[in-house]
């Protein structure tokens, strides 16, 4: 029923569809509000909500007691104290086009039976998360997230770390709850993600998630290190009115020291509101922070009070959303790209089209199921419609990510258009391309004999976090890979370039595009410079599937030297001590271990690795313990549930204090930190005489370190 037009639904179908929408929207809400990891786009979410509302309008008797129309956000997550809002934190009704805005103004007039002047404020809708700040006698006493609108999370300690939030107000009402949006600027978001990536931490999909994830940290010190900002736009409980209009009330909040949005304007009716909407839309890209629409509010607070609320939204305000950036164009072809690990990635070649100000001619198609109109579980997506070459397809861009295809117009499908047949052979080397069970991706099995995999691996090998060789980037790698005289087919070939060229008096390289004698010498010097390479960089540079930068660091810290690492992974097969040791490393799971050992135990791969290492002096990784901490050099294992911090935070903190964190208890373990629910590890610890600490004891031990 998912694809059936609302006016075509029978009552039974409508009932089923409302049940489905309630479930899908509840899941989406949870993903967005509680887990800070959205599963569907805002545009899709809005479309589902609209469909739900349209079905309810047609069949009012079917409206569910748990209808998504009546819900705001999602229940609070565990971990924070709860705060019951003195005045509910509401959501806003949405408008999607000009006529919705006219309708809103008409409805307001009708409700009030008002024929005179009627003014509205118009201001950007900030794409962050809302926060309510309670001041008593001018002192900030509490900060709470929206939660489900009735009960939010107590994030007072975290909010105190945000520079835009004043701790004290002068001349404020005795009780004042200021509401507004916490957000992160584009530049701060990019810098945070870069820092997180460099430290091997979690990166965020967008500034909103980054802001939410940063505010909702159990350790306020982490929030303090995150560049959060705050715009005030509303209020909750008040002991005395701020002003008689919305506009003046916001001006008072600004006078108290809050940031208020400079694009807030006073409008005398729908035409002026729409003009302000267009102006804000034009400025959107240059603002430096995300907004997703414009909010209109009735300016007269006396009228706002008369208008009051529906179940979850005020009658005196509406959010006019920006359209998703969408366009229709022709699907000219489907190319298959082969990546470093052999993954076959389909790419849509499109007739170039402008989407939100950017010309788009390629879009990702994800994998073969996606082209066929199925998800990973075999369920229909897009109503089961597949993409065929020659089809008219809808392309969209969300944020800075690669464009995607949202839909296909079956009415414009050409006669005789054939379903796309996804290749079962690698288009680059002809090797069989297989799908492992449970994997959405089909992979070329050619390994290093596949030129596409080989060249992608070389690009990875020279990339910034791997060997990072000056003057040898992706472009030069492509060139050398195809070079008949001085070919570079494997990483080892990079280190023999100079001697091979010297055999010919430096003549060969010098005469190539972009290379004079000086640049050739510079390149050779840069290569020479990287013969000494730290173990972690080498492991990462090998480009083994599932062995990323973080895993490479973990492995190198554990084994320290190339010899120890190489011996271990060469001999590690299930049932051996080497295998058990590999799996005992915290952060090394079955999948990683299998992928790593398979690479070292494969003859061709092994030959390439040996040839490379023969050219290098691999530098051991020395564990730099913070020697003045009480846990420096100790091996620590965490088990059971931790209450004051996440496992990831606990681990990062322990490591920053010089401890080694392991995944299982052995005779080498010094401390087991056991929370509620700890099981077999406690027994192991007793067996080996390992010190067992509760979470508080552990925190007391490292306090001040």
Question: Is residue 123 part of the contact set for ligand IVH (CB under 6 A)?
Answer: yes
Among all residues, whose Cβ is closest to ligand IVH? 130
DSSP letter (8 states) at residue 113:
T
Taking the least distance from each CB to ligand IVH, the nearer of 67 and 121 is 121
Smallest distance from the beta carbon of 93 to ligand IVH, in angstroms? 9
One DSSP character per residue, 609-627 reads: HHHHHTT-EEEPPP----T
CA atoms of 661 and 643, how far apart (whole Å): 18
Q: Name beta bridge partners: 293.
A: 125, 321
Smallest distance from the beta carbon of 134 to ligand IVH, in angstroms? 16
CA atoms of 53 and 17, how far apart (whole Å): 12
Residues 604-633: x where in contact with ligand IVH by CB under 6 A, - otherwise, as a string: ------------------------------
CA atoms of 675 and 137, how far apart (whole Å): 41
Burial code (b: 16+ CB inside 10 Å, e: under 16) for 586-623 equals bbbeeebbeebbebbeeeebeebbeebbeebebbebee
Taking the least distance from each CB to ligand IVH, the nearer of 74 and 317 is 317
**Tokens matching residue 331:** 């699907």
Question: Is residue 130 part of the contact set for ligand IVH (CB under 6 A)?
Answer: yes
Taking the least distance from each CB to ligand IVH, the nearer of 314 and 447 is 314
- Whether 398 and 412 have beta carbons less than 8 Å apart is answered as no
Of residues 639-668, those binding ligand IVH (CB under 6 A): none
- Whether 58 and 11 have beta carbons less than 8 Å apart is answered as no
- Whether 273 and 122 have beta carbons less than 8 Å apart is answered as yes
Reduce the secondary structure of 351-402 to three states and give it as a string: EEEEECCEEEEEEECCCHHHHHCECCCCCECHHHCCCCCCCEEEEEECCCCC
| Cβ-Cβ contacts under 8 Å for 267 (sequence gap 6 or more) | 119, 120, 121, 122, 273, 275, 276, 296
DSSP letter (8 states) at residue 116:
S
Question: Is residue 181 part of the contact set for ligand IVH (CB under 6 A)?
Answer: yes
Q: Is 125 an active-site residue?
A: yes
Q: Which stretch binds ligand IVH (CB under 6 A): 313-321, 436-444, 499-507, 551-559?
A: 313-321
- Whether 203 and 211 have beta carbons less than 8 Å apart is answered as no
Smallest distance from the beta carbon of 319 to ligand IVH, in angstroms? 5
Taking the least distance from each CB to ligand IVH, the nearer of 183 and 422 is 183
SS3 135: strand
- Whether 149 and 89 have beta carbons less than 8 Å apart is answered as yes
Total site size for ligand IVH, rule CB under 6 A: 14
Taking the least distance from each CB to ligand IVH, the nearer of 126 and 645 is 126
Q: Which stretch binds ligand IVH (CB under 6 A): 49-57, 87-95, 109-117, 367-375?
A: 87-95
Q: Which stretch binds ligand IVH (CB under 6 A): 85-93, 167-175, 470-478, 545-553?
A: 85-93
Q: Which stretch binds ligand IVH (CB under 6 A): 84-92, 100-108, 455-463, 587-595?
A: 84-92
Smallest distance from the beta carbon of 318 to ligand IVH, in angstroms? 10
Question: Is residue 126 part of the contact set for ligand IVH (CB under 6 A)?
Answer: yes
SS3 330: strand
CA atoms of 468 and 477, how far apart (whole Å): 12
Which listed residue (314, 346, 403, 447) binds ligand IVH by CB under 6 A? Answer: 314
Question: Is residue 317 part of the contact set for ligand IVH (CB under 6 A)?
Answer: yes
Residues 233-252: x where in contact with ligand IVH by CB under 6 A, - otherwise, as a string: xx------------------
Smallest distance from the beta carbon of 297 to ligand IVH, in angstroms? 7
Smallest distance from the beta carbon of 62 to ligand IVH, in angstroms? 25
One DSSP character per residue, 389-435 reads: TT-EEEEEE-TTSPPEEEEE-GGGPPTTPPPP---SB-TTT--BEEE
Taking the least distance from each CB to ligand IVH, the nearer of 280 and 538 is 280
Taking the least distance from each CB to ligand IVH, the nearer of 122 and 488 is 122
Question: Is residue 295 part of the contact set for ligand IVH (CB under 6 A)?
Answer: yes
- Whether 121 and 102 have beta carbons less than 8 Å apart is answered as no
Smallest distance from the beta carbon of 249 to ligand IVH, in angstroms? 12
Question: What order do you get walking across the sheet with 660-662 strand by strand?
Answer: 660-662, 635-639, 671-674, 691-693
Of residues 197-236, those binding ligand IVH (CB under 6 A): 233-234
* 680 alpha carbon, distance to own chain's centre: 35
Q: Which stretch binds ligand IVH (CB under 6 A): 124-132, 420-428, 488-496, 690-698?
A: 124-132
Smallest distance from the beta carbon of 91 to ligand IVH, in angstroms? 5
Which listed residue (18, 55, 83, 90) binds ligand IVH by CB under 6 A? Answer: 90
Smallest distance from the beta carbon of 162 to ligand IVH, in angstroms? 16
CA atoms of 311 and 319, how far apart (whole Å): 16
Q: Which stretch binds ligand IVH (CB under 6 A): 150-158, 279-287, 314-322, 325-333?
A: 314-322
Taking the least distance from each CB to ligand IVH, the nearer of 77 and 619 is 77
Taking the least distance from each CB to ligand IVH, the nearer of 312 and 555 is 312
Which listed residue (119, 125, 216, 530) binds ligand IVH by CB under 6 A? Answer: 125
Taking the least distance from each CB to ligand IVH, the nearer of 181 and 655 is 181
Of residues 318-337, those binding ligand IVH (CB under 6 A): 319
Q: How many CA atoms lie within 13 A of 550 on its CB side?
A: 17
Taking the least distance from each CB to ligand IVH, the nearer of 253 and 295 is 295
Q: Name beta bridge partners: 238.
A: 176
- Of 125, 297, 459, 530, the active-site residue reads 125
The structure tokens 């969408």 sit at 326
Smallest distance from the beta carbon of 90 to ligand IVH, in angstroms? 4
Which listed residue (92, 212, 657, 690) binds ligand IVH by CB under 6 A? Answer: 92
Burial code (b: 16+ CB inside 10 Å, e: under 16) for 423-436 equals eeebebbebebebe
CA atoms of 570 and 552, how far apart (whole Å): 16
Smallest distance from the beta carbon of 314 to ligand IVH, in angstroms? 5
Question: Site residues (CB under 6 A) for ligand IVH?
Answer: 90-92, 123, 125-126, 130, 181, 233-234, 295, 314, 317, 319
Residues marked active site are found at 125
């Amino acid at each position: 029923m998912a694809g059936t037009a609302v006016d075509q639904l029978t009552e039974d179908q409508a009932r089923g569809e409302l049940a489905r929408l309630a479930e899908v929207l509840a899941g989406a809400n949870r993903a967005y509000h509680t887990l800070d990891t959205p599963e569907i786009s805002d545009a899709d979410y809005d479309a589902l909500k609209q469909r739900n509302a349209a079905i309810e309008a047609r069949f009012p008797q079917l409206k569910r007691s748990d209808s998504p129309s009546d819900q705001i956000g999602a229940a609070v997550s565990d971990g924070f104290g709860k705060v019951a809002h003195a005045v509910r934190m509401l959501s806003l009704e949405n408008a999607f086009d000009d006529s919705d805005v006219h309708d809103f103004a008409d409805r307001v007039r009708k409700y009030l039976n008002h024929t005179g002047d009627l003014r509205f404020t118009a201001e950007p809708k900030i794409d962050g998360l809302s926060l309510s700040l309670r001041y008593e006698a001018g002192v900030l006493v509490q900060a709470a997230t929206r939660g489900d609108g009735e009960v939010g999370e107590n994030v007072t300690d975290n909010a105190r770390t945000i520079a835009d939030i004043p701790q004290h107000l002068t001349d404020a009402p005795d009780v004042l709850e200021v509401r507004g949006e916490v957000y992160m600027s584009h530049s701060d978001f990019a810098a945070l993600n870069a820092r997180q990536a460099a430290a091997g931490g979690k990166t965020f999909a967008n500034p909103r998630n980054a802001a939410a994830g940063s505010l909702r940290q159990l350790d306020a010190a982490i929030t303090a290190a995150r560049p959060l900002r705050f715009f005030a736009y509303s209020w909750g409980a008040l002991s005395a009115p701020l002003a008689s209009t919305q506009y003046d009330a916001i001006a008072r909040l600004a006078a108290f020291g809050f940031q208020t949005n400079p694009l807030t304007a006073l409008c005398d009716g729908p035409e002026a509101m729409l003009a302000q909407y267009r102006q804000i839309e034009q400025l959107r890209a240059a603002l430096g922070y995300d907004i997703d629409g414009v909010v209109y509010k009735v300016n007269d607070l006396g009228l706002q009070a008369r208008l009051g609320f529906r179940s979850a939204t005020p009658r005196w305000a509406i959010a006019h959303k920006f359209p998703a950036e969408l366009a229709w164009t022709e699907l000219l072809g489907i190319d298959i790209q082969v990546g470093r690990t052999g993954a076959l990635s389909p790419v849509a070649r499109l007739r170039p089209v402008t989407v939100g100000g950017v010309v788009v001619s390629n879009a990702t198609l994800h994998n073969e199921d996606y082209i066929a109109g199925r998800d990973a579980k075999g369920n229909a997506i897009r109503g089961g419609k597949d993409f065929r070459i020659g089809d008219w397809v809808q392309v969209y861009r969300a944020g800075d990510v690669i464009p995607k295809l949202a839909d296909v117009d079956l009415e414009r499908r050409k006669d005789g258009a054939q379903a796309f047949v996804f290749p079962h052979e690698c288009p680059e080397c002809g090797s069989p391309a297989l799908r492992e069970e449970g994997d959405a991706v089909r992979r070329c099995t050619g390994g290093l004999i596949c030129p596409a995999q080989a060249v992608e691996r070389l690009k990875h090998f020279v990339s910034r976090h791997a060997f990072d060789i000056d003057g040898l980037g992706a472009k030069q790698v492509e060139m050398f890979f195809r070079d008949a005289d001085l070919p570079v087919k494997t990483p080892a070939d990079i280190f023999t370039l100079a001697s091979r060229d010297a055999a010919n008096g430096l003549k060969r390289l010098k005469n190539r595009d972009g290379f004079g004698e000086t640049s050739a010498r510079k390149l050779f010097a840069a290569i020479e410079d990287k013969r000494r390479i730290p173990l972690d960089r080498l492991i990462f540079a090998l480009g083994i599937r599932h062995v990323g930068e973080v895993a490479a660091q973990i492995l190198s810290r554990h084994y320290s030297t190339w010899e120890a690492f190489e011996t271990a992974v060469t001999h590690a097969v299930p049932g051996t001590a080497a295998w058990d040791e590999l799996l005992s490393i915290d952060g090394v799971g079955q999948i990683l271990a299998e992928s790593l050992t398979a690479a070292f135990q494969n003859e061709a791969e092994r030959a390439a690795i040996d040839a490379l290492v023969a050219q290098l002096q691999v530098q051991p990784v020395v564990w730099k313990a913070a020697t003045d901490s009480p846990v420096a050099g100790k091996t620590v294992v965490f088990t059971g549930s931790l209450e004051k911090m996440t496992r990831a935070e606990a681990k990062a903190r322990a490591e920053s204090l010089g401890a080694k964190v392991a995944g299982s208890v052995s005779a080498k373990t010094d401390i087991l930190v056991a929370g509620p629910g700890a099981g077999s590890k406690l027994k192991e610890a007793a067996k080996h005489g390992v010190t067992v600490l509760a979470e508080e004891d552990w925190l007391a031990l490292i306090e001040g370190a």
